[in-house]
Amino acid sequence: MQQQELIPHLFRTEFRKIASVLCEFLGIERIEVAEDITSETFLQALETWSYKGIPENPTAWLYTVAKNKARNYMVRNKIFTKKVADEIRELNAKLEIDLSDKNIMDSQLQMLFAICHPSISTKAQVSLALRILCGFGIEEIATAFFTNKETINKRLFRAKEKLRLEKVDIAFPPESEVDKRLDTVLTTLYLLYNEGYYSESQDDVLREDLCAEAMRLTYQLLENERTDLPAVNALFALMSFQSSRFAARRKQAGEFILYHDQDETLWNHELIAKGTYYLNRASTGTRISKYHLEAAIAYWHTIKANSTEKWSNILKLYDHLLELEYSTLAALNRIYALSKVKGEANAIAEAEKLTLTNNHFYYTLLGELYRNVNTIKAKENFEKALALARTNTDKQTISRKLNVQ
């Protein structure tokens, strides 16, 4: 891998690991210092590797530089001792930073729950978690929340300040606090996975590294008996079902392949089986979360047969999901399912009630529904969708639909 590809890749995979360990080491009150040290480490890599070449073990190089920078910061600021001139070996022992795989895993989980503290708003919790733990850029977070970078920067600043004032410990919360914070933790992981599954902030069909990271963190919750709960199992099942179709979602050139055009022989049946297993594990307790419903919908999509039973079940699940938590995307997907059950005319009538005039998915759906009903209206809607589409991938997909009109 060339340097111009390697450093962004390592930033995505290692930033959150280093930042989490340094936050735990320095304390929540120095969260910005941990971010700065981590960022400086990658800046040094960019400068050094350009002249000296890529080291034999780039990840180990990053960890070593981050450790040294953190130690230097501690010495300069006299955090552990007022007399820096004391025994340097004793100081070095106190400044040992554990970047082992186990401590990285533990630190990320502890940091995830620390960030999801009730003293800050849910939006702030999710934004901060996406920034620190998931390595999201400000623009990516702004896109996820459909807002601007200035709003996100202010939100992050206020959240860090609140956590500093509250002196929040970076540790796994007591049992009485776990349930209160788990919803936000799951929202963060859900957003992380969705950013990988379909990104509007990057012109890329699929970012498997983000999806894999979301699945890894979710599985880590499953491995802890206090967080091995139905909603967590349901979210992991959803991720497994969605990931099972990755190989069929894009062509070698990166072109997006729609669901009904996918080659199901490329689907990963091991992941489908895993999703089924965890969805069954999720079927305990009395609470049905949106993850249960979305996982069940995703399960039916692993059955390629275009049967009435399949789409009737999907339609019922979307009805339940919209009652539980309304979203524009779920409403549009429900209408597509409705067209499979009750025909295009019924679906068009329902779709046009939504009047989502700034949404390219809305016009794409209308174009599909009109395709066999009115080719002129189909073309008009696809053209509106094309004008609103933000990514090259979406533009290519819509253009192909226009070309077959």
Q: Of 68, 64, 66, 60, give the one whose Cα is nearest residue 92.
A: 68
Same domain? For 224 and 134 the reply is: yes
Same domain? For 52 and 117 the reply is: no
CB of 215 within 8 A of CB of 243? Answer: yes
Q: Of 34, 210, 191, 198, give the one whose Cα is nearest residue 126.
A: 191
Q: What is the mean pLDDT of residues 41-53?
A: 91
Say if 126 falls within a structural domain: yes
Share of the chain above pLDDT 70, in %: 91
Taking all residues of the chain, what is their mean pLDDT, rounded to a whole number? 86
Share of the chain above pLDDT 90, in %: 45
Same domain? For 148 and 207 the reply is: yes
In whole angstroms, give the CA distance from residue 137 to residue 133.
11
**Local confidence band at 201 (pLDDT 50, 70, 90 cut-offs):** low
Instruction: Quote the distance between the C-alpha of residue 51 and its chain's center.
Output: 34
Write out the two tokens for 98. Answer: 């554990």
- The tens digit of pLDDT for each residue in 58-74 reads 999 999 999 999 988 88
In the listed set 191, 211, 228, which residue is the last one of a domain according to the structure?
Answer: 228
CB of 248 within 8 A of CB of 224? Answer: no
In whole angstroms, give the CA distance from residue 156 to residue 160.
6
Report helix, strand and coil shares of the chain as percent, to nearest 5.
70, 0, 30
CB of 161 within 8 A of CB of 38? Answer: no
Q: Would the pLDDT of 84 be above 50?
A: no
C-alpha Rg value of the chain to the nearest Å: 24
- The tens digit of pLDDT for each residue in 345-376 reads 999 999 999 989 899 999 999 999 999 899 99
Say if 386 falls within a structural domain: no
Angle at 87 between CA 82 and CA 88, to 5 degrees: 90
CB of 194 within 8 A of CB of 218? Answer: no
pTM for the model stands at: 0.78
Show the domain range for 196: 101-228
Q: Of 41, 43, 46, 44, give the one whose Cα is nearest residue 21.
A: 41
Q: Would the pLDDT of 85 be above 60?
A: no
In whole angstroms, give the CA distance from residue 114 to residue 396.
42
Residue 197: its pLDDT value, please? 82
Same domain? For 87 and 109 the reply is: no
Instruction: Please tell me whether residue 99 adopts helix, strand or coil conformation.
Output: coil
Say if 41 falls within a structural domain: yes
CB of 66 within 8 A of CB of 10? Answer: no
In whole angstroms, give the CA distance from residue 7 to residue 45.
8
Q: Of 23, 63, 24, 26, give the one whose Cα is nearest residue 44.
A: 63
> How far from each other are the two terminal CA atoms of the chain, in whole angstroms?
42
Instruction: Please tell me whether residue 374 adopts helix, strand or coil conformation.
Output: coil
- Domain count for the chain: 2
Same domain? For 110 and 44 the reply is: no
In whole angstroms, give the CA distance from residue 106 to residue 33.
20
Across 88-97, 186-195, 200-209, 305-314, the highest mean pLDDT is recorded for 305-314
CA dist 388 to 88, 255, 266, 305, Å? 61, 19, 32, 32
**Local confidence band at 402 (pLDDT 50, 70, 90 cut-offs):** confident
What's the length of the chain?
A: 405
Same domain? For 125 and 23 the reply is: no
The CATH number of whichever domain residue 19 belongs to comes to 1.10.1740
In whole angstroms, give the CA distance from residue 368 to residue 350.
14
In whole angstroms, give the CA distance from residue 227 to residue 230.
9
